[in-house]
Structure 1
Amino acid sequence: MSVLATNPNQALWEKGDFTQLAACMRESGDALIDAIDVKPGMEVLDLGCGDGTTALPAARRGASVLGVDIARNLVAAGNARAQAAGLANLRFQEGDASWLDGLADSSFDLVVSIFGAMFAPRPLDTAKEMVRVTRPGGRIVMGNWIPGDSTLVARVLQICATYTPPPPEGFVSPVTWGQESMVRDRFAAAGIADDRIACKRATYTFRHAGSPSRFLSIFRDFYGPTMNAFEAAAKNGREGDLQAELETLFEAENRSTSGGTEIPATYLKVIVQV
């Protein structure tokens, strides 16, 4: 599958190593797949799949799963995880969520994208592509971070934005996918009736054995948006300010009482009946 050369996301997500953060998301990924009732024999597309936080649980439940991600390092990591788990019904390949040129119409019973397709640069095209590759009677399930939300990831993205240069003209913020009105407009443009779109707030929990400060170091060293913010802050002599602001956030959001880190984050769960 080819990828548009102008897509800026490939450099962003290949810059770090999202597998380091994904390791703190496994339990919630498994619970999410349980909640959306993935069954044996289903054809599933996991879009913006990373290294398989939801793709592997779906395959373990007997579905035939294709993971698609813009980052080649994450595709390689996903295929390695699938092979190590002995999951012949799971494969990963490179692709752009807004231009799924190698995937046929009506190919999947379920399209899943948890904090993935929301980062694709052309949201209208992304919604149309998700609808196009889903079979009539199938479902699309998205998890999207919510703009202005007070919990972890939305605040991390908000804080980092204050330390980085303004985005280029025409940039559409990924967190607009966390606004119900925008979700409905985008799927309406893709031909989905409003009564076939359901949105509700849900919680995704990050778990890490170390302290909140150690958990923050994963974001700082391996998560593309945070890495960019620290690089920009360092150029302006503000790296310490960014570190302090994020440390305060991570400490305040930690719910663990056992010395580790357990941080819930609110997201918008979107279910579209095609």
Structure 2
Amino acid sequence: MATNPNKALWEKGDFTRLAANMRGSGEALVATLGITPGLRVLDLGCGDGTTALPAARLGADVLGVDIASNLVAAGNARAAAEGLGNLRFEEGDAADLAGLADASFDLVVSIFGAMFAPRPYDVAAEMVRVTRPGGRIVMGNWIPGDPTLVAQVLRISAGYTPPPPEGFVSPVTWGSEAEVTARFVAAGVPADRIMFEKTTYVFDFPGPPVDFVAVFRDYYGPTMNAFAAAGDRIGDLQAELEALFTAQNRATEPDRTLTHATFLKVDVRR
């Protein structure tokens, strides 16, 4: 079986270093989902548990699935450290959840996770398949062309990276309402059960913007690939990112970077 290129992408860096600056928004988002004790939750593309741990703390029975073995290990370590016996992490591919039974979850969550998986129509079909009738799917997806931080990091990075292979579908197409609707309708969900809301994620980093750029450069797969491919344009890439992070910083303290990133919240009623 061919190796999923996303596995190499997300194992190349260490997303836990970036996720550490996203915990507050993860908890705030989970708090809006109406999670109750015993609810069966799948967190798809879960990373090291930015949303899975808050869901488990509320009493849900949570399975986190991620393509990257290092993030699965980090998530299991975090769950063990908190004594969360109702949370476990395992490796898996969002486009092929073969090990998971039909209709086995009340809620499927994927925040900036499944959007990066290849074959988006397969991803939508799998999320629908494993959600029970009457259940719910919630996604958070970065928006193409959005002026806020992460969409711009992805745009800038793409400008320094070789063209993608033929047939590649950009992850940020998951931030298009029309694209998302088409994918879930193809998976059997009526269009009137697919709802959208633009909302905000906050990154709160304990250092100046130039240091936060370094976290993306050293640990975030897409940015790492851009630096590896930039060649003699590496200084331009660094300068472009530093200008972006400085412009988007809302913090008033010199040793803090506070940035807001707009995303599309997708809410599908099964």
Match of 2:136 among 121, 135, 139: 139
TM-fit CA distance, 1:258: 2.2
Task: Say whether 1:246 aligns with 2:241.
Answer: yes
Identity %: 71
Rounded to whole Å, the distance in 2 between the matches of 1:83 and 1:207 is 25
- 1:269 corresponds to: 265
TM-fit CA distance, 1:6: 3.5
Moved more, 20-29 or 207-216: 207-216
Pairing 1:4-23 to 2, within 5 Å after superposition: 5-23=2-20
- 1:203 corresponds to: 200
Pairing 1:55-70 to 2, within 5 Å after superposition: 55-70=52-67
Rounded to whole Å, the distance in 1 between the matches of 2:62 and 2:3 is 28
TM-score by length of 2: 0.99
Rounded to whole Å, the distance in 2 between the matches of 1:178 and 1:37 is 23
- 2:178 corresponds to: 181
Pairing 1:98-109 to 2, within 5 Å after superposition: 98-109=95-106
- 2:126 corresponds to: 129
TM-fit CA distance, 1:39: 1.3
Rounded to whole Å, the distance in 1 between the matches of 2:251 and 2:82 is 30
Deviations 1:174-221 (A, max 9, x none): 000000000000000000001000011100000111111111110000
Report the number of matched residues: 269
Residue identity matched to 1:22: A
Task: Say whether 1:95 aligns with 2:122.
Answer: no
TM-fit CA distance, 1:7: 1.4
Residue identity matched to 1:81: R
Match of 1:258 among 228, 253, 256: 253
Rounded to whole Å, the distance in 1 between the matches of 2:3 and 2:10 is 14
Residue identity matched to 1:117: A
Residue identity matched to 2:266: V
Deviations 1:103-126 (A, max 9, x none): 000000000000000000010000
Residue identity matched to 2:59: G
Residue identity matched to 2:268: V
Rounded to whole Å, the distance in 1 between the matches of 2:145 and 2:215 is 23
Deviations 1:21-67 (A, max 9, x none): 00000000000000112111100000000000000000000000000
Match of 2:35 among 22, 38, 48: 38
Rounded to whole Å, the distance in 1 between the matches of 2:2 and 2:268 is 30
Deviations 1:230-269 (A, max 9, x none): 0111x2x011000000000000001111231110000000
Rounded to whole Å, the distance in 1 between the matches of 2:32 and 2:264 is 15
TM-fit CA distance, 1:13: 0.2
- 1:222 corresponds to: 219
Moved more, 252-261 or 7-16: 252-261
SS class of match (1:77): helix
Q: Which runs of 5+ in 1 are unaligned?
A: none
CA RMSD of aligned residues (A): 0.7
Rounded to whole Å, the distance in 1 between the matches of 2:198 and 2:146 is 11
Rounded to whole Å, the distance in 2 between the matches of 1:83 and 1:14 is 21
SS class of match (1:238): helix
